[in-house]
């Protein structure tokens, strides 16, 4: 029986999730990755699976879909490979958002009320409840909201688990294989030119993360997905100090802003190894990979306002990565209207770990022409933020 051939370009968590969905649906999948699997953005972020930072709208709906899928996906992984599932370090530990000013408290209260109407589970915490939940947190909080649905994964292990599922379902993986361009016939993409020669297929999924814009240009169908730098500090392993995903209420504003200059907000979480991840910054500096002391110290200072006790804790290392950013802050999921056979799955900015499984589900449903679990119109490729801005991209993005 003929199986539809799909080439997934990029083996970050989004490409791995797409490969898994398509392979399980019976596609003949080849994943093409110019480096190693899960070695790019997916290995340079944190592992928050959040509903708490999204206001009512399509991204929240996708986050809720993904949040519902994660335990099911991981249960399926565990059936085949318990070790791979354990490595994902899935922890539904819940998130706590803290406002430290009265204005921030008003905004947080308003935001949480709107989320409740969209079905998000939230609980206001008074000072005693907050101190019980997070004993090392500042006592200066003006308001705090608990989001029990927030969870955490180890991102590279999560991508590996998804990829393992795809491979077990028959997918092939070609690493160190770069896509350079498209072979087209009559407005349809029929093959990609790669460093290992041409690769034919019936459909091609651009899952190249922050390089999705560059790859799309190579394929002749540009989309406006750009890098937005983020840096994270990692402490030495500590005794239990941070029990939830804790972030300051300013984080939501920083996520929603498109400003190019430095923005920092505190996002603090512990990992199973005992280290504490302290994020994060947002800067649009192209693919400038240099760590900047002033950025790291701004990230640290913001976190210390939430957790003064961390002042005495050694920082073991710092790292950064490039969030795949679209000017309207929504992912791009669907068919390219200009080149038949080309599909996009990307632009998840700072939420691609959490949103990967839901995005892959939607992509698979769209590819098969099935009803989708949610309205995918807001993620369509032919919206102005994706197609319009690209031609206006200038040197602003180069470091
Ligand atoms: C500091 C920081 C913190 C973050 N924290 C979180 C978080 O807590 N929760 C969350 O959900 N998200 C978080 N993110 C965002 C998340 O990491 C990204 O949204 C996600 O990893 C994007 O995955 P991806 O598969 O789209 O991209 P990537 O992981 O970058 O994968 C794309 C792949 O495509 C490959 N590729 C590119 N061009 C080509 C080509 N021409 N040919 C072949 N292969 C190609 C690349 O090598 C790469 O491996 C964070 C990001 C950063 C930087």
Q: What pLDDT band is residue 258 in, cutting at 50, 70 and 90? A: low
Q: Domain coordinates of the chain in residue numbers? A: 5-69+155-225+328-397, 95-148+227-325
For 210-230, how does the pLDDT look when each residue is reduced to its tens digit (9 = 90+)?
Answer: 999 999 999 999 999 999 999
Q: Is the pLDDT of residue 155 over 60?
A: yes
Residue 195's Cβ-side half-sphere holds a number of Cα atoms within 13 Å equal to 10
Mean pLDDT of the chain: 94
Does the beta carbon of 321 lie inside 6 Å of ligand 1? yes
* Class level of CATH domain 5-69+155-225+328-397: alpha beta
392 C-alpha to center of ligand 1: Å? 24
pLDDT reported for residue 146:
98
- At 362-378, the pLDDT tens digits run 999 999 999 999 999 99
Spatial contact of 109 and 257, defined as CB atoms under 8 Å apart? no
Residue from 209, 221, 255, 278 whose mutation best tests the ligand 1 pocket (most atoms within 8 A of CB): 209
Record the tokens describing residue 354, joined without a space.
């959490």
Would you say residue 391 has pLDDT above 60?
Answer: no
Architecture of domain 95-148+227-325: 2-Layer Sandwich (3.30)
Q: Is the CB of 55 under 6 A from ligand 1?
A: no
How much is the pTM?
A: 0.96
Ligand 1 atom 10 nearest Cα: 351
Q: Which pair of structure tokens corresponds to residue 258?
A: 């498109």
- What is the CA(46)–ligand 1 centre distance, in A? 11
**Relative orientation angle of helices 155-168 and 58-80, to the nearest 10 degrees:** 60
* Residue 157 beta carbon below 6 angstroms from any ligand 1 atom: no
From 350, 356, 360, 363, mutation site for ligand 1 pocket: most ligand atoms within 8 A of C-beta: 350
Q: Whose CA is nearest to atom 3 of ligand 1?
A: 45
């Amino acid at each position: 029986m003929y199986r539809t051939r799909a080439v997934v370009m990029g083996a970050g968590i989004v490409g791995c999730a797409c490969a898994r969905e398509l392979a399980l649906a019976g596609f003949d999948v080849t994943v093409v990755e110019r480096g190693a699997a899960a070695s790019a953005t997916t290995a340079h972020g944190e592992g928050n699976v959040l509903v708490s930072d999204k206001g009512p709208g399509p991204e929240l709906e996708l986050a809720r879909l993904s949040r519902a899928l994660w335990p099911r996906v991981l249960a399926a992984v565990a059936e085949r490979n318990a070790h791979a599932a354990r490595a994902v370090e899935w922890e539904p530990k819940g998130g706590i958002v803290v406002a430290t000013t009265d204005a921030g408290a008003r905004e947080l209260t308003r935001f949480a009320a709107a989320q409740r109407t969209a079905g998000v589970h939230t609980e206001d915490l008074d000072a005693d409840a907050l101190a019980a939940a997070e004993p090392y947190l500042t006592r200066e909080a003006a308001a705090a909201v608990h989001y029990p649905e927030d969870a955490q994964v180890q991102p590279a292990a999560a991508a590996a688990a998804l990829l393992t599922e795809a491979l077990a379902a028959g997918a092939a993986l070609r690493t160190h294989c770069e896509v350079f361009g498209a072979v087209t016939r009559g407005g349809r993409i029929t093959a990609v030119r790669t460093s290992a020669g041409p690769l034919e297929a019936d459909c091609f999924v651009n899952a190249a993360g922050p390089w999705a814009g560059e790859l799309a240009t190579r394929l002749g169908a540009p989309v406006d997905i750009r890098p937005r730098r983020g840096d994270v500090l990692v402490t030495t392993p500590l005794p239990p100090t941070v029990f939830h995903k804790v972030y300051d209420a300013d984080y939501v504003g920083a996520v929603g802003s498109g400003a190019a200059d430095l923005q920092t907000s505190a996002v603090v979480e512990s990992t199973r190894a005992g280290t504490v991840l302290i994020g994060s910054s947002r800067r649009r500096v192209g693919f400038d990979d240099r760590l900047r002391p002033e950025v790291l110290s701004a990230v640290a200072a913001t976190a210390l306002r939430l957790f003064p006790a961390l002042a005495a804790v050694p920082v073991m290392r710092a790292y950064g990565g490039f969030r795949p950013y679209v000017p309207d802050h929504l992912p791009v999921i669907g068919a390219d209207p200009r080149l038949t056979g080309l599909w996009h799955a990307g632009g998840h900015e700072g939420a691609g770990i959490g949103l990967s499984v839901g995005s892959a589900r939607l992509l698979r449903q769209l590819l098969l022409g099935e009803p989708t679990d949610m309205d995918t119109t807001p993620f369509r490729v032919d919206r102005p933020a994706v197609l319009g801005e690209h031609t206006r991209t200038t040197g602003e993005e180069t470091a």
